[in-house]
Amino acid sequence: MKDIATSLDKDNVLSFLTDLILDMGVEQNEFNADATLEDLGLDSLDVVELAQGVKKKLRIAIAPGDFADAVTLGDAVERVLQKAAA
Which is the catalytic residue, given 9, 19, 43, 75? 43
Q: Which residues contact 80 (CB under 8 A, 6 or more apart)?
A: 8, 13, 17, 54, 58, 60, 62
Q: Length of the chain in residues, anyone? A: 86
Q: Residue 64: name the closest of 85, 35, 42 by CA.
A: 42
Distance CA 31, CA 60 (A): 25
Active-site residue 34, yes or no? no
Active site residues: 43
